[in-house]
Amino acid sequence: YLSIYLHNSTLVVTHTHTDAYTHTERFVSINLNMSLTSILSAEAIENAVKDCQAPDSFCYKKFFQLCGLSQKSPQEVKDVFRIIDEDNSGFIEEAELKFFLQRFCPGARTLTEKEIKSLLTAADDDSDGRIGVDEFQTMVLS
């Protein structure tokens, strides 16, 4: 049995399965109004983006410090990942990394190829060419 409903701004999905031997229930909720400024301050985001305006000046460690992400909980980092993962594939691919700064601030510049490769190398622990949620969390919180 599958149930999907909207409660306030949260999409709730429950799946219940019962047979002669087992009863399982799975529950997922998704906040539809999730935005970066619900996790990070707009001022901190602006300062972090301003700090790397010049091409090839993006340093992910400094960026995550300045915007406050590295001080957030593991769950908040995962929430930010889901916002950056624009196609909802469960991964941040190289094409999405180009627009990484624009996910934080729409008027920001795109990352250069050098910056994209550097960010991908830093986070992609399993060398599959993309960043998964656990890899992103490890990079941000380390």
Enclosing domain of residue 4: 1-33
- Known binding-site positions: 85, 87, 89, 91, 96, 124, 126, 128, 135
**Percent of the chain, pLDDT > 90?**
68
CA distances (Å), origin 33, targets 8, 16, 38, 92, 126: 10, 26, 9, 20, 32
Q: Is the pLDDT of residue 23 over 70?
A: no
Judgement on whether residues 79 and 21 belong to the same structural domain of the protein: no
| CATH number where 120 lies | 1.10.238.10
Same domain, 48 and 19: no
What is the rounded average pLDDT of the residues 9-31?
A: 67
The answer on 76 and 24 residing in a single domain is no
Give the pTM: 0.76
**9 close to 30: Cβ distance less than 8 angstroms:** no
Both 131 and 107 in one domain: the answer is yes
Q: Which residues are annotated as a binding site for Ca(2+)?
A: 85, 87, 89, 91, 96, 124, 126, 128, 135
| Structural domain count, the chain | 2
Q: Are 60 and 48 within one domain?
A: yes
Which tens digits make up the pLDDT trace of 83-118? 899 888 999 999 999 999 999 998 899 999 999 999
Residue 24: what pLDDT? 72
